[in-house]
Amino acid sequence: IQPSAQNPLDGQEFRDLEWGDLNFLHTTDQHGWHAGHLEESQYSADLGDYISFISHMRRRAKEKGVDLLVIDTGDRVEGNGLYDASEPKGLYTRRILEPFDVDIITTGNHELYNGTTALHEHTQTIPFFGDRYLSSNIDIDMGNGWEPMANRSLRFQTENLGLDIMAFGFLFNFTGNFKNTRVKPVATVLEEEWFQKAIREPVDLFLVAAHIDVHTLELQQIHDAIRQQNPETPIQIFGGHSHIRDFVEFDSKSTALESGRYCETAGFLSLDGLVPKDEKDTSFVKPKDGAPMKTFRRYLDFNRAGFQHHSNTTEDSFDTDAGLKVSKDIALYRQSLDLNRLIGCAPREYTLSRDPYPSAGNWYSYLGEVLLPKMVVNKTRAEVPRMIFINGGSQRFDIFKRFTYDTTFIVSPFTSRFMYAADIPWEVATRLLGYFNDDASPYSVEMQAKGEHWASASSNQPLPESMMLPVNQIPLARGRQKWRKTIGYTTEDAFGKQGDDVVHQAFQKFDTPKVLQANASFPVGWEAKPPQTVDVVFFDFIAANVADGMNRIVGEKKWKKEDFGYYMSREDTLTKLMLEFVQEEWGKEC
């Protein structure tokens, strides 16, 4: 745990784990949160704590004569100062991840947005993990033509039961990658010779580590391709990308688990009733005593109390040398990046989705009404009325009272720069937001293909400490023991409502805007007499979508993204502007 982080409150009610023959721990979408959540005690474990937990779980598996595999399904980068504040980005993250003893690891879309990130992944991270790092559908060009980003598949035997496993690593059909990589559509790869050969190998289980939302066509396609050749063999899938706790059942021997995001969750899954046959034929996996194979899943809150509970350790016996070293290294790296530096104190907490948009506590409202109009200004065009558009997905996390240097990256990690289209007719500009918000628009379709998540119905984001319920003690019928309930994940998935390891109180979550519009320098009385033209200012990330939208509105191909110039200096990213704003506008009395 990091020096400034807090352990969760005592007295939480746990749901225990059920071990099987083959057990898994799974993380996904870590997004650089390796220091843990310093403002939220429920998720305050750091990667060092998780490493200690893994080590105890491996020991327990050995004692039980079963197996444990550790999986990570990508998007380890972008989203936290520990990754984004270093120069080059990820300098420390790559070192921090080295002791992370995963069995299978794969690539997410965020490893590919930026050419340098992809390059570093290929030249530094992948060699370290070696053949355990799988990229079944990604190629990279290192200057000599396309080559596989990493190993395509891996066949291996588990340590204790000797289960024979064939593993793959897939990314969804992502199109927003930098040009030094190429992501082959999943359906195409399933037809490739190497894949067809791999699924014909006589194994006990197929394992798919996928940076793919578990409710997608891509995963269904992967499942179907394997199942067609292997009617009886278990297919275990681990997903990611949509940042939620989720679980689906493809058939009685195939499920997919998604384990949240941002080091808030470690997924646990077990398969029982796997009996490896001596002779390899077409049905090596036999149910125990004729009983069907049993699958069990649980979502663990990422904190030391839970890790100790599930690994049967105590505060004294929990830490391993390797884990302690990682925690210490993280603290040193955070210090050298000055991440704890206080920039300002927020007038109140602002949330992305726990407060409705628009409302006073909603961060998008604050951005649209206060921050963007003030900070997004081109001095030479300051008097020209402007409409500023940013994509909702660019904002990644809530704002607590203490706004530190780290917070700038936690909220806005991307190098999002402002571009503009000058003097756009009022009738066109005023229709853009409607165009973006129209679910049927190509913008939505394209952004969803890129992973944009507009609605949040199935997601459930946890609350910060300040939102903890007052101690709510519920006496147990059989004794004097009392539980303390906190607000947190209350997941409902294909196996029901008992998946979270801690019994939490549910909370409300509101939809976030797909695209946010802010107006600035509008003349007095503009409602009665609108300006004839305005500047349309937007993130470079959505430049192609803006061109597309305006073309559709006027009904002709008038704009393309290459026509747009930068509205402000290239140094003026939203991250930098936000930091300047907080420094200037918010006091330091928290």
Ligand X SMILES: Nc1ccn([C@@H]2O[C@H](COP(=O)(O)O)[C@@H](O)[C@H]2O)c(=O)n1
3-class DSSP state of 391: strand
Find all residues with CB under 8 Å of 434, minimum gap 6, and list them: none
- Number of residues that this document lists for the chain: 590
Q: Which residues bind ligand X (CB under 6 A)?
A: 75, 109-110, 113, 241, 391, 393-394, 414, 416, 447, 450-452, 541
Q: Which residues pair with 209 in a beta bridge?
A: 169, 238
Provide the residue type at 519 as one letter.
N
CA atoms within 13 A on the CB side of 301: 32
Q: To which residue do tokens 């059909």 refer?
A: 173
Q: How far apart are CA 364 and CA 352, in angstroms?
A: 7
For ligand X, the closer of residues 264 and 452 by Cβ is 452
Q: How far is the CB of 129 from ligand X (least distance, A)?
A: 21
The token duo for 230 is 């292997």
Q: How far is the CB of 394 from ligand X (least distance, A)?
A: 3
Q: How far is the CB of 483 from ligand X (least distance, A)?
A: 34
Provide the residue type at 50 as one letter.
Y
Instruction: Name the residue whose CB lies closest to ligand X.
Output: 393
| Edge-first strand listing for the sheet containing 153-157 | 153-157, 164-171, 205-211, 235-239, 254-259, 245-251
Q: How far is the CB of 424 from ligand X (least distance, A)?
A: 22
Q: How far apart are CA 167 and CA 223, in angstroms?
A: 13
For ligand X, the closer of residues 132 and 211 by Cβ is 211
For ligand X, the closer of residues 1 and 85 by Cβ is 85
Query: Are 266 and 238 within 8 A, CB to CB?
Result: no
Q: How far is the CB of 75 from ligand X (least distance, A)?
A: 6
Q: How far apart are CA 137 and CA 160, in angstroms?
A: 31
Backbone angles phi, psi at 205, to 5 degrees: -160, 140
For ligand X, the closer of residues 354 and 450 by Cβ is 450
Provide the residue type at 159 as one letter.
E
Query: Are 178 and 115 within 8 A, CB to CB?
Result: yes
Query: Are 69 and 103 within 8 A, CB to CB?
Result: yes
Backbone angles phi, psi at 467, to 5 degrees: -95, 5
Q: Which residues pair with 342 in a beta bridge?
A: 404
The token duo for 28 is 């996904």
Q: How far apart are CA 490 and CA 487, in angstroms?
A: 9
Q: How far is the CB of 317 from ligand X (least distance, A)?
A: 36
Q: How far is the CB of 251 from ligand X (least distance, A)?
A: 28
3-class DSSP state of 256: strand
Q: How far is the CB of 448 from ligand X (least distance, A)?
A: 8
For ligand X, the closer of residues 261 and 354 by Cβ is 261
Alpha-helical segments (H) within 192-320: 193-198, 217-229, 304-311
Q: How far is the CB of 133 from ligand X (least distance, A)?
A: 19
Q: How far apart are CA 146 and CA 138, in angstroms?
A: 10
Please, is 27 exposed, middle or buried when counting C-beta atoms within 10 Å of its C-beta (0-12, 13-18, 19+)? buried
Provide the residue type at 125 as one letter.
T
For ligand X, the closer of residues 516 and 547 by Cβ is 516
For ligand X, the closer of residues 31 and 94 by Cβ is 31
Q: How far is the CB of 175 from ligand X (least distance, A)?
A: 11
Query: Are 254 and 225 within 8 A, CB to CB?
Result: no
Q: How far is the CB of 529 from ligand X (least distance, A)?
A: 35
Q: How far is the CB of 541 from ligand X (least distance, A)?
A: 4
Q: How far is the CB of 258 from ligand X (least distance, A)?
A: 12
Q: How far apart are CA 140 and CA 119, in angstroms?
A: 8
Q: How far is the CB of 105 from ligand X (least distance, A)?
A: 17
Query: Are 459 and 244 within 8 A, CB to CB?
Result: yes
Query: How far, CA to CA in Å, does 536 sit from each of 277, 418, 425, 582?
Result: 66, 10, 10, 25
CB atoms within 10 A of CB 314: 9
